[in-house]
Each structure stands twice: as C-alpha cells, then as structure tokens.
C-alpha cells in the first residue's frame, strides 16, 4: 500500500495545561464547518479558573475553566449558513473567522480512502487533470489530519481547515472529495470533510485500547504486533541488503529490483492511530463517518478476526464520539489478484456488519483493477457513498443499497438465493461468480439463473447442495445488479466461512 511519510511518532500537544492565553484546538480554526442542527461544542484551554465568554453568531455562553485550565461550552443548534465569526473573550481574546454551518463527515481508513485527487505514481485517478482543475468549491472545506501515531489518546492535531481549491484538494482523499461535492450540491449546504487516513494500516490500529483490551476476541492484534516487532530486529540488516542490491543494479544499468513492501512500524501500533488521529476529533460534532479499509486485514495472520473486529470498530467510534448511532458508510473492498490473501473473507465480514443499525455498505467489486490494489475509479465509490447517505441519512426515497443476501432455501438438487434490494435483478454478463457446496464445503462453480428477485444455483457435481457463495475470489468481478445499477457484493451463506 502507498502511504505518506509520518511526521511524528508520539504526539504530545498538551503535556501541561498551564496556558497563559486562550487556546482553541486546531479543529476549531478559520474556515471550519460546524455541524448544523446539532449542539455545537466549543472547548479549549486557558489560565486555570478563568471565566470566558463564547460569542458565535447571535449566541453568547459563559464558561469557567477548571483547575488545570480546561474549559468547555455548548451552543444551541444552528441552521446551515455563514460565514460567521467565533470569538472567545476572557483574560485576552481569540477569534476564528469564515466559520460555516453545514454537515461534517469524517473519512478514514487505509490507502484507497487516502488515495488523493491528484492520484499516485503507478495509480492514476481517472480524469485526474480535469477533476483537479475543477475542484474549487466555495461550500466545501477540507481538514487533512497528518500521519501520526501515539501510545495514549491525544487532545489535538497539527492541522487546520482550508478552503477547497486545487492547491488543497490535490492531496486530499478523492473518495471523500467526490462524496462531499455531491452532498453539498444535493443538500445545498456547506460540507466539511475530515481526511484521517493512512495507507497500509490494519483495523486494530484505528480502535481504542479500551475496546482492544475488552475481549479475548481482539487480543490477536497484540500477538500480531509481537510477531511484527520481532521481525523489526532484522530490519536494519534487510535495508542494508536492499541498498546493496539497488546499487549493484544501478551500476550494471539494470532496473532497480522490487523489494517486499514493509509497513511503517508505528502505523501498525495497536490503537496508535485511534489515539493520535481519531481521539482528538471526538469532541467535534459530525454528521457521519465514511470508511474504506480491509485490504491489510486480508493477510493470513489477520483475516480470521475481521468479522468481530470491524463491528467493534464501528461501535467503538460511536461510543467515543457520543453522538448516538452515527451513520457509518463503508466500502466493501474491491478486487485484486493477491493469491496469498483472503479478500473474500474480508468482503463477507463487511457484509455481515450490516447487522448494525445505521450502517450502509458500498460495493466496489465492479470498479476494481485485478492488477492494481489502487483502482483509479474513485468517482464511482464517492458517488455510491453519497447515494447511501442520501437514502439512509438525508431521507431521499431512492434505492441506495446493493442486492444483499437475505436467505437461502432448498430445492431439488439446487438452492434458491433470496435478496433484499433486488428489484429488477439482472445480469450484466454471464452469472459465473456463484459457487455451491455440500456439507463438506468443497465449493464448485455453479450454474445460476435469475428468477424474479431470486437466483437459482445448482451443479451436477453437488447432489445435495447446502451452501452458496458469490464473488469469492480475490479478483472476482461479479455481474449481478439491481435496477438501480448497484452490484451485488461478496457473500457466503455459511455461518462461519471455511477459510
């Protein structure tokens, strides 16, 4: 996975709260978007016991700092609008200008969410030049959270909001940008996008230590970390060998050899990214969360746990943000040729997370690239996430979900697969991504036919079929769609996948 260079290992913005002046967290900067129709949280630091006056729009709130200088106040909900000025008066004064009221969405995950609007070398964005040139939007505001990991939960970040212009959008999440652009246009409101992403990172780096330590089901994250740490003892030696190989290749006029990708050790620290890149955001009111991650968890030592780990992450973040069951829209990872990994298991685990309320899954299997883990069509992913938000969050009467497994019933020598969101079920190409198996779970390719809003599957090799699965291969494409043009994603009818 591609990833940006980290700027710090441990982030300690507030080691002592003995502030002489009024200080606001970085997320409350000029150009910020505050969440509309929700209580507005304003907080910061000052002299201990100082009395402060918060002024915003037509509201005034008086707060008092505690004995270490922390203070916090809440403003009443506001309708979309702006720009406004936020001013804090006390022993001194601090102001923030060009503040908008709108919807705030947090985008997080690994490289396919991090993938910037300008694209990457070896992984271009479709129509990147045109998209970038047209990326000035007065009602879009961007907050990029730099790469950083920490051992303990932090209270601030080193970044501020910016206007959305080509200079700032170029390095911003393309998926988040395309999502926000559409939501702003459809809802006619300002939209603030927070890009807190890091390529090549596992889910357990994004979950709080409280949750990771709460159940033996999550303790394998620490075992995996231990194995990783043991391997680091040879890292310097391997890097030296790689440098010698590279030098020899250059001297001989040959191409530089390809070395095994190795993640930055700090990005794989359990809870490390939650501590530094999510915890500082949890005091901020938001509309919902966008998530695109799972590729790293498809590795042989990680894939078993994703069925429990991913729902735990969703519930963990909802607990930390303390804003109810925040909408959580996520991508079912795409398709790529990676024979040593288990993308089918991860995609199915993501489907199962739909059991949590207020979640929506965006299927991306049809816009993948079997030869590149970073497919260039991020427009479709962003549009499908926006479609999910429009239907699930904003209440539009539209179909926003892909055909999703409901149940499987028996037929003579065949199985009937029932789907939700299956109106107008069609095949775009041959239905060759279905497999069936008997009790032995030895899956074989199935013959499949659509009948109304169901699919009937069978094979002469399986006399008594019990299980069915779809688009299970890492580089599967699939061809089953509903009338809304949304593709069915990977699933298996097994209670627990065999792999």
Note the pLDDT tens digit of each residue in 340-394.
999 999 999 999 999 999 999 999 999 999 999 999 999 999 999 999 999 999 9
Cβ neighbours for 217, distance < 8 A, ≥ 6 positions apart = 305, 308, 309, 312
pLDDT, position 81: 97
Phi/psi of residue 115, each to 5°?
-35, 115
Tokens of 348: 């199915």
Buried/exposed code over 378-393 (b: 16+ C-beta within 10 A; e: otherwise): bbbbbbbbbbbbbbbb
In the sheet that holds 467-470, the strands lie side by side as: 444-445, 434-437, 467-470, 491-492
Instruction: Give the three-class secondary structure for 250.
Output: helix
Residues in the chain where the model's pLDDT stays below 70: 1-20, 223, 225-236, 238-239, 242, 259-265, 499
Write down the pLDDT at residue 5.
42
Tokens 């829209």 locate to 329
Q: What angle do CA 208, 213, 216 make, to 5 degrees?
A: 130
CA-to-CA distance for 112 and 292, rounded, in angstroms?
Answer: 7
Between CA 340 and CA 471 the distance in angstroms is 17
Per-residue tokens: 462: 């399986």
Domains of the chain: 1-397 (3.40.50.1110), 404-492 (2.40.10)
Predicted pLDDT at 13: 41
Q: Report the alpha-carbon distance of residue 80 to residue 136 in Å, rounded.
A: 20
Q: Would you say 162 and 76 are in contact if contact means Cβ atoms under 8 Å apart?
A: no
**H or E element in which residue 29 lies:** none
For residue 83, whether the previous peptide bond is cis, meaning omega lies within 30 degrees of 0, is yes
Q: How many CB atoms lie within 10 A of CB 78?
A: 21
Return the structure tokens found at 281.
């955001």
Q: Which residues pair with 106 in a beta bridge?
A: 194, 289
d(CA 10, CA 149): 6
β-strand partners of 8? 148
Q: Output the six-digit token pair for 375.
A: 């497919």
Structure tokens at 64: 């008092």
Coil, helix or strand at residue 164: strand
Collapsing DSSP states into helix, strand and coil, what is residue 339? coil
pLDDT at 236: 67
């Amino acid at each position: 996975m591609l990833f940006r260079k980290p700027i710090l290992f441990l982030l300690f913005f507030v080691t002592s709260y003995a502030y002489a002046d009024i200080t606001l967290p970085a997320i409350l900067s000029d150009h910020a978007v505050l969440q509309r129709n929700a209580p507005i949280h304003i907080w910061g630091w000052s002299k201990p016991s100082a009395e402060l006056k918060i002024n915003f729009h037509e509201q005034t709130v008086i707060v008092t700092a505690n004995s270490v200088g922390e203070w916090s106040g809440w403003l009443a909900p506001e309708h979309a609008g702006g720009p406004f000025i936020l001013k804090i008066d006390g022993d001194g004064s601090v102001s923030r200008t060009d503040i908008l009221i709108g919807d705030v969405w947090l985008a997080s995950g690994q490289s396919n969410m991090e993938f910037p609007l300008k694209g990457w070398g070896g992984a271009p964005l479709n129509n990147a030049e045109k998209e970038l040139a047209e990326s000035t939007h007065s009602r879009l505001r961007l907050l990029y959270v730099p790469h950083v990991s920490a051992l303990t939960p932090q209270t601030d970040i080193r970044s501020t909001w910016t206007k959305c212009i080509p200079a700032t959008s170029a390095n911003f999440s393309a998926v988040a940008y395309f999502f926000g652009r559409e939501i702003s246009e459809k809802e006619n409101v300002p939209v603030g996008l927070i890009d807190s992403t890091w390529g090549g990172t596992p889910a357990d780096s994004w979950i709080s230590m409280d949750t990771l330590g709460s159940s033996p089901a999550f303790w394998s994250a620490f075992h995996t970390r231990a194995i990783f740490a043991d391997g680091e003892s040879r890292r310097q030696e391997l890097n030296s060998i790689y440098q010698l190989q590279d030098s020899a290749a250059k001297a001989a006029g040959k191409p530089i050899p390809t070395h095994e990708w190795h993640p930055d050790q700090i990005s794989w620290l359990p809870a490390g990214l939650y501590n530094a890149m999510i915890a500082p955001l949890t005091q901020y009111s938001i509309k919902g969360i966008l998530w695109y991650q799972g590729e790293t968890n498809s590795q042989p030592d990680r894939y078993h746990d994703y069925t429990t780990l991913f729902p735990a992450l969703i519930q963990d973040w909802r607990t930390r943000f303390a804003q109810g069951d925040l909408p959580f829209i996520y991508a079912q990872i795409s398709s790529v040729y990676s024979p040593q990994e288990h993308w089918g298991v991860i995609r199915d685990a993501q489907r199962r997370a739909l059991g949590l309320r207020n979640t929506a899954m965006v299927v991306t299997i049809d816009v993948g690239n079997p030869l590149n883990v970073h497919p260039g069509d991020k427009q479709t992913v962003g549009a499908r996430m926006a479609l999910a938000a429009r239907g699930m969050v904003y209440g539009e009467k539209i179909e926003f979900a892909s055909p999703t497994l409901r149940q499987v019933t028996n037929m003579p020598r065949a199985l009937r697969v029932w789907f939700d969101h299956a109106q107008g079920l069609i095949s775009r190409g041959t239905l060759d991504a279905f497999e069936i198996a008997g009790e032995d779970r030895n899956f074989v390719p199935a013959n499949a036919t659509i009948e109304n809003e169901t699919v009937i599957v069978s094979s002469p090799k399986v006399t008594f079929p019990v299980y069915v699965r779809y688009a299970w291969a890492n580089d599967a494409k699939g061809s089953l769609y509903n009338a809304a043009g949304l593709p069915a994603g990977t699933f298996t009818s097994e209670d627990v996948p065999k792999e």
